[in-house]
Amino acid sequence: MDNGSPTRAPATDAGYRRILLVGFMGSGKSTVGPILASRLGWSFLDFDQEIERRAGLPVPEIFRRKGEGVFRELEAGVGKDALGADRAVLAPGGGWPAHPGRMEDAGADTLSVWLQVGPETSVARSRAGGARRPLLEVPDALGMARRLLDEREPYYALARLHLDSEAASPQALAEAILKHLEEAAGAEPAR
Ligand code: S3P
């Protein structure tokens, strides 16, 4: 939802129509996203919430009752719709970018940002948030996180901007992204 005038120079000055926050579970996408969206006066879309709305079930229940395949199909559908959004901050789940072509399809009018997190912090943050991440509800959660991160990092690395999410607060990460937008607005247009 568009909640009013931007409090800073609109990012569209830099040619961006949306911001795509990618990163592993626990990287802060769902925390940084709403802060950023509110600062810009843009909408915020959390893919998992939209998947839950469409399925009428929480994510862990989709995994348990219908299987990961059904979750991934729903996720792909949400992603397709979301990449057409205007003035929106998008937060896909950690698995969405890890398919050939998805990061590239985001296009030059999307500012993609990788919020980097290590496996230890990911597992610790996921545990602190309760049993909401079925992929890490396994005996060797750290081993699983390491394996998934190894597979996914080449995709996350395609993002235009890389930020260390362990070294900064969600507020500071949102500020860093706003600063990047301001700098981009003063430089070459994004397309
Ligand atoms: C997943 C990440 C989760 C959620 C689902 C699968 C993944 O989202 O989409 O549990 O494959 O990494 P977050 O990255 O927001 O935790």
Residues whose beta carbon lies within 6 Å of some atom of ligand 1? 25, 29-30, 48, 59, 93-95, 133-135
Of 151, 172, 168, the residue nearest 99 (C-alpha)? 151
Each residue's pLDDT tens digit, 72-82: 999 999 999 99
Q: How far is the CA of 95 from the centre of ligand 1 (A)?
A: 6
Using the atom order of ligand 1, give the atom closest to the CA of residue 75: 9
Q: How far is CA 167 from the centre of its chain?
A: 18
Q: How confident is the model at residue 3 (pLDDT cuts 50, 70, 90)?
A: very low
Distance CA 16, CA 10 (A): 9
Average pLDDT over residues 169-173: 98
Residue type for position 63: F
Residue nearest to atom 4 of ligand 1 (CA): 93
Residue 13, pLDDT score: 53
Average pLDDT over residues 162-188: 93
Residue 129, pLDDT score: 79
Residue type for position 80: K
Q: How confident is the model at residue 188 (pLDDT cuts 50, 70, 90)?
A: low
User: Out of 108-117, 128-137, 168-177, which region has the weakest mean confidence (pLDDT)?
Assistant: 128-137
Residue nearest to atom 16 of ligand 1 (CA): 25
Average pLDDT over residues 44-71: 97
- Residue 140 phi, psi (nearest 5): -105, 70
Q: Where are the beta strands (DSSP E) in the chain?
A: 18-22, 43-46, 88-91, 110-116, 161-164
Report the DSSP beta bridge partners of residue 44.
Answer: 89
pTM > 0.85: yes or no: yes
Residue recorded with tokens 């009428």: 56
Q: Which two tokens stand for residue 112?
A: 């993609």
What residues contact 36, with CB distance under 8 A and at least 6 apart? 19, 21, 42, 44, 89, 174, 177, 178
Site to substitute for ligand 1 among 24, 70, 127, 133, most atoms within 8 A of C-beta: 133
